[in-house]
A and B are shown apart, each in its own frame.
Chain A
């Protein structure tokens, strides 16, 4: 029998449709499309991505275990200094970077010196502000057990003296002098030579030269009024510190810090009071006297004459005999020492 249209249609529902080549299977009529399109909305200030211009995020990298990372971070900061020199980032930068003076890796130390040079070239007052910490870490480096760190300490000192010599010298001239003498292996008057000194017998002459240069600079800044030789172009007067107007508002950071008005000082032992603290001679043994004695030129010259001059002259003469670059540096130092005693 021939089937009617209706019957054929009914049968159609139950017949399996043949799949045709090159064509996909027909979709069921009750198929639900579950496809979707996802889109992202970008809000820039809410990005979780690292902003490469945000330097404050890089501070922790200065303490990274990988020396290369530390070095690169320092390099980034060096490049960024001209932009951030007036910003608030300088303080955390320096407070985090200065401990790298005692870093194990030479590259890091070199990068740090470059950083300090850059800062100093742009604005020395920034370095002046952090003199206390600098002195602390340089001292730490000078007495470090690792010879290379000890040897590099004078490079930092030289760098600092270049930019803020006056301030450094006022704060810790005596301490630094002792430190440098220690590094050189020379004994200051009354000091114990065996303790804390770099005991290597073979010294790198280059390093020695740097040490001698640092010592020379220290003596120059400490025992001479360098400003006295400069003359103000406009007024024609000497720029000596004695000629400064002391009654104008001070343009130094923390001008009254040396008075230590807000610091609690430990009770001084009787040894301080034993020695004469009058104008002519100042003792070289006690801390309170040391810190205050650094303040004026005459006291420093007096201490130099009593405590350091003899040893320096003796050692310099030995070095001059050896000759070479060290000899030259020693010669310059010797001349400086003689000038101080004459002046």
Chain B
């Protein structure tokens, strides 16, 4: 197939735009251009043109050319290894230079969409080229690594204004090129601390960006610190772990928790819970530097140079605690979850303790201090703060279990017990759940379901003994799966107003007339179409709940009340989603299956209902239940075996029993393996012992010879063939009669002619009796 020469494409590069440019890009990546002969002329020309585009002015009119240059560079480098190897460095330099120029003038630039797009294109092109060059040793050594020394500072500089763009790249560079990054560690640390220290700024970032920042902060600790290395070298015979610096970073974060938790000693009456106090005291403490006072309040709650400023007279300042804990948790999660090139030692127990303390700080079991109780506003804020902290603990557990799974097995019972503390009870009650407050903290409950669902696969039937901690959670689940109407408070208010009207008719009459005129808008819709104001949870949340219910029903037999409620919920929602989406979602199918298989105390399973629901979606489980089939594969194998045994038993009839089956297996193994005398003899010993054991409890044998073993013909023939040291088997075997009275596996041993071997090793000798089995047995 003919193709256009690369020179043509190169010439068109400058003028191409829109669909032309797309065609150009499509064509230059064809494998036909991977030709060494083209390298010096055509491909070089193309690269020159690309460089020309990349060197365009920084004026807005030229942005498009630069953009084209970037994309062309990326495409040709990705699909043409020759260009990558020969000119990759050149292209990288070109892109980098442009990026540097734009970064230098970033503060003076007018931010337009084109500028933004260009910046992101430059960074992404840089990333792609670096990724392409990284795995090739020569290319990396000669082109990539030297340039990194220039690229990294530029990217760090750009992080201030465009963190979302640069942080993923820098994270990769930290991971892959830790040593190259070393000189810039402090600078990068300063940039990150700048983003982290201002909590207002940090809180404005979205979740993804927060994760990136924390990930990068953690990756800073991949770089080995010189100081720590020297310290290790001083100690004799201590091997330094590669994760020393990482642990330092992790513990520096963990140390920040204790001072904050100690603040709560002023707010809550902590004397009521000694266990919580001991947990707090067990957390790592901030190391006090020599010469400094230990009770310097300013340093204890300081993080990245900023300390907490709390004033109990201004209740809303308490939310700073929540911000700080959020930040610390994000950093902690980053340290324990991000992938590292070396193994890290994670103090899971400490992390769990942090989460337990966060969950344990609640007004359910710890009262607010007396002097603070009077202030209603303060009390409400404290409760809100504590609920937020509890939700953070669930987040820690979620990440911990997602990453470490089975390694948290020891901690799982504690986690579940702690989680049950979260369920809000009505005031002055230990049993009654406050469902209205459950509504307010719904998102936390969904996270809790996720945590429990992560625990279930590791615990399995252990749950038979741990019913109590989860029963309340099941009740909350039953409440959360109901559809709620936003109009309930409205109706209740209406009722109240009516009641008040009837009691105080005269007083309110004149006032209410006017009030009604003003307040009553178009309220008719609330009455006629109240269904439109019903709130239901979304499908993802249903999935979590369904998984939770699946595990509950799978492991426990629930009371009828709960079982019926769950069944109704499964059926109703399945029908609803079937109408909406024409198929029933997977989680509901699983739930229906488990409800069918485990009907609990019901008299009859809902199999007919489930089958009719899943009529169109054929389901294997229900298919098997409705049309049970025998496992044909196994039956077929058994038939073959029986047929084989029949042919052998023509001569030696013996009812099938354990001994013979074992012998068969043994025989088959021996036929397949190489002939090895000691092994065979060991087998014979085993068979002999087995025979002996079985015949001990049966009809007493007239002639007892412990070495007598009843063997088949083929085994005997094998024996004859293999062992010369063996005792020769005499071919005459006496007939054995089987009677119904005797157990089937007992065989009356007949006295046989045995020729004993001369060998001294008694263990290896077996006297094989002469047993003659005639064909006309039974």
Chain A interface (Cβ < 8 Å from any Cβ of B): 241, 244, 246-247, 249-250, 252, 255-256, 258-261, 270, 273-280, 282, 289, 292-299
**B437 in the interface, Cβ–Cβ < 8 Å?**
no
Residue in B475, B558, B560 whose beta carbon sits within 8 Å of that of A276 in the complex:
B475
**B479 in the interface, Cβ–Cβ < 8 Å?**
yes
Given contacts A259-B567, A293-B560, contact A298 B605 (CB under 8 A): no
Kindly provide the distance from the CB of A128 to the nearest chain B CB, expressed in whole angstroms. 12
Chain B residues positioned under 8 Å from A241 (CB to CB): 603
**B733 in the interface, Cβ–Cβ < 8 Å?**
no
Interchain CB contact under 8 A, A261 and B562: no
Interchain CB contact under 8 A, B559 and A261: no
Residue in A259, A273, A278, A298 whose beta carbon sits within 8 Å of that of B479 in the complex:
A273
Kindly provide the distance from the CB of A92 to the nearest chain B CB, expressed in whole angstroms. 28
In the bound assembly, the distance between CA atoms of A297 and B608 in angstroms comes to 24
Interchain CB contact under 8 A, A296 and B559: yes
Interchain CB contact under 8 A, B435 and A270: yes
Interchain CB contact under 8 A, A295 and B602: yes
Interchain CB contact under 8 A, A295 and B564: yes
Kindly provide the distance from the CB of A259 to the nearest chain B CB, expressed in whole angstroms. 6
Interchain CB contact under 8 A, A274 and B426: yes
Closest to A292 in B: B561
Chain B residues positioned under 8 Å from A299 (CB to CB): 559-561
Given contacts A246-B602, A250-B603, A256-B609, contact A261 B568 (CB under 8 A): yes
Interchain CB contact under 8 A, B561 and A289: yes
Residue in B471, B567, B606, B609 whose beta carbon sits within 8 Å of that of A278 in the complex:
B471
**B474 in the interface, Cβ–Cβ < 8 Å?**
yes
**B237 in the interface, Cβ–Cβ < 8 Å?**
no
In the bound assembly, the distance between CA atoms of A42 and B609 in angstroms comes to 56
Chain A residues positioned under 8 Å from B475 (CB to CB): 276-278
CB-based closest 3 A-B pairs: A295-B560, A296-B601, A278-B471
Chain B residues positioned under 8 Å from A247 (CB to CB): 596, 605, 607, 625
Chain A residues positioned under 8 Å from B606 (CB to CB): 256, 259
In the bound assembly, the distance between CA atoms of A199 and B137 in angstroms comes to 101
Given contacts A255-B604, A295-B602, contact A260 B568 (CB under 8 A): yes
Interchain CB contact under 8 A, B432 and A276: yes
CB<8 Å pairs between A and B, sample of 10 = A244-B603, A247-B596, A250-B604, A259-B567, A276-B432, A276-B471, A295-B564, A296-B559, A297-B601, A299-B560
Interchain CB contact under 8 A, B559 and A278: yes
Kindly provide the distance from the CB of B472 to the nearest chain A CB, expressed in whole angstroms. 7
Max chain B Cβ within 10 angstroms of own Cβ: one of A252, A282, A296: A296
Chain B interface (Cβ < 8 Å from any Cβ of A): 426, 431-433, 435, 467, 471-472, 474-475, 478-479, 556, 558-565, 567-568, 571-572, 596, 599-609, 625
Interchain CB contact under 8 A, B568 and A277: no
Given contacts A276-B472, A280-B471, A289-B561, contact A246 B479 (CB under 8 A): no
Interchain CB contact under 8 A, A292 and B564: yes
In the bound assembly, the distance between CA atoms of A118 and B433 in angstroms comes to 50
Kindly provide the distance from the CB of B31 to the nearest chain A CB, expressed in whole angstroms. 61
Chain A residues positioned under 8 Å from B432 (CB to CB): 274-276
Given contacts A261-B571, A273-B435, A295-B564, contact A279 B603 (CB under 8 A): no
In the bound assembly, the distance between CA atoms of A241 and B564 in angstroms comes to 18
Kindly provide the distance from the CB of A10 to the nearest chain B CB, expressed in whole angstroms. 108
In the bound assembly, the distance between CA atoms of A23 and B606 in angstroms comes to 98
Kindly provide the distance from the CB of B256 to the nearest chain A CB, expressed in whole angstroms. 40
Interchain CB contact under 8 A, B560 and A292: yes
In the bound assembly, the distance between CA atoms of A279 and B563 in angstroms comes to 10
Given contacts A247-B625, A270-B435, contact A296 B472 (CB under 8 A): no
Kindly provide the distance from the CB of A247 to the nearest chain B CB, expressed in whole angstroms. 5
Kindly provide the distance from the CB of A289 to the nearest chain B CB, expressed in whole angstroms. 6
Chain A residues positioned under 8 Å from B426 (CB to CB): 274
Closest to A283 in B: B561
Chain A residues positioned under 8 Å from B474 (CB to CB): 278
In the bound assembly, the distance between CA atoms of A250 and B564 in angstroms comes to 17
Chain B residues positioned under 8 Å from A292 (CB to CB): 560-561, 564-565
Interchain CB contact under 8 A, B603 and A246: yes
Closest to A278 in B: B471
Chain B residues positioned under 8 Å from A270 (CB to CB): 435
In the bound assembly, the distance between CA atoms of A102 and B601 in angstroms comes to 35
Interchain CB contact under 8 A, A255 and B603: yes
Kindly provide the distance from the CB of A253 to the nearest chain B CB, expressed in whole angstroms. 12
Interchain CB contact under 8 A, B560 and A296: yes
Interchain CB contact under 8 A, B561 and A249: no
Max chain B Cβ within 10 angstroms of own Cβ: one of A241, A276, A279, A293: A279
Interchain CB contact under 8 A, B607 and A276: no
Task: Contacts A276-B471, A295-B561, A299-B559 known; list 14 others, CB within 8 Å.
Answer: A246-B605, A250-B604, A252-B604, A259-B571, A274-B435, A277-B561, A278-B472, A278-B474, A279-B562, A293-B559, A295-B564, A295-B602, A296-B559, A296-B602
Kindly provide the distance from the CB of B602 to the nearest chain A CB, expressed in whole angstroms. 7
In the bound assembly, the distance between CA atoms of A247 and B568 in angstroms comes to 18
In the bound assembly, the distance between CA atoms of A278 and B563 in angstroms comes to 10
Interchain CB contact under 8 A, B478 and A277: yes
Interchain CB contact under 8 A, B562 and A278: yes
Chain A residues positioned under 8 Å from B471 (CB to CB): 276, 278-280
Residue in B559, B563, B565, B601 whose beta carbon sits within 8 Å of that of A282 in the complex:
B559
Residue in A252, A289, A298 whose beta carbon sits within 8 Å of that of B603 in the complex:
A252
Kindly provide the distance from the CB of A296 to the nearest chain B CB, expressed in whole angstroms. 4
Closest to B470 in A: A278
Closest to B571 in A: A261
Kindly provide the distance from the CB of B19 to the nearest chain A CB, expressed in whole angstroms. 59
Kindly provide the distance from the CB of A123 to the nearest chain B CB, expressed in whole angstroms. 19
Chain A residues positioned under 8 Å from B607 (CB to CB): 247
Chain B residues positioned under 8 Å from A261 (CB to CB): 568, 571-572
Chain B residues positioned under 8 Å from A259 (CB to CB): 564, 567-568, 571, 606
Given contacts A270-B435, A276-B431, A299-B559, contact A249 B565 (CB under 8 A): no
Kindly provide the distance from the CB of A144 to the nearest chain B CB, expressed in whole angstroms. 31
Kindly provide the distance from the CB of A222 to the nearest chain B CB, expressed in whole angstroms. 13
In the bound assembly, the distance between CA atoms of A154 and B666 in angstroms comes to 73
Kindly provide the distance from the CB of B28 to the nearest chain A CB, expressed in whole angstroms. 65
Chain A residues positioned under 8 Å from B556 (CB to CB): 279
Kindly provide the distance from the CB of A200 to the nearest chain B CB, expressed in whole angstroms. 37
Chain A residues positioned under 8 Å from B609 (CB to CB): 256
Chain A residues positioned under 8 Å from B562 (CB to CB): 277-279
Given contacts A274-B426, A296-B560, contact A279 B467 (CB under 8 A): yes
In the bound assembly, the distance between CA atoms of A279 and B553 in angstroms comes to 12
Kindly provide the distance from the CB of B402 to the nearest chain A CB, expressed in whole angstroms. 29
Closest to B567 in A: A259
In the bound assembly, the distance between CA atoms of A280 and B431 in angstroms comes to 13
Kindly provide the distance from the CB of A37 to the nearest chain B CB, expressed in whole angstroms. 70
Chain A residues positioned under 8 Å from B431 (CB to CB): 275-276
Closest to A300 in B: B560
Kindly provide the distance from the CB of A111 to the nearest chain B CB, expressed in whole angstroms. 33
Given contacts A241-B603, A252-B603, A278-B475, contact A293 B608 (CB under 8 A): no
Closest to B605 in A: A246
Closest to A249 in B: B608
Interchain CB contact under 8 A, B564 and A298: no
Closest to B436 in A: A270
In the bound assembly, the distance between CA atoms of A249 and B558 in angstroms comes to 23
Kindly provide the distance from the CB of B330 to the nearest chain A CB, expressed in whole angstroms. 36
Kindly provide the distance from the CB of B481 to the nearest chain A CB, expressed in whole angstroms. 12
In the bound assembly, the distance between CA atoms of A276 and B564 in angstroms comes to 16
Interchain CB contact under 8 A, B599 and A246: yes
In the bound assembly, the distance between CA atoms of A261 and B606 in angstroms comes to 12
In the bound assembly, the distance between CA atoms of A296 and B559 in angstroms comes to 7
Closest to B488 in A: A267
Chain A residues positioned under 8 Å from B478 (CB to CB): 277
Residue in A250, A273, A279, A294 whose beta carbon sits within 8 Å of that of B558 in the complex:
A279
Residue in B479, B567, B568, B600 whose beta carbon sits within 8 Å of that of A296 in the complex:
B600
Chain A residues positioned under 8 Å from B479 (CB to CB): 273
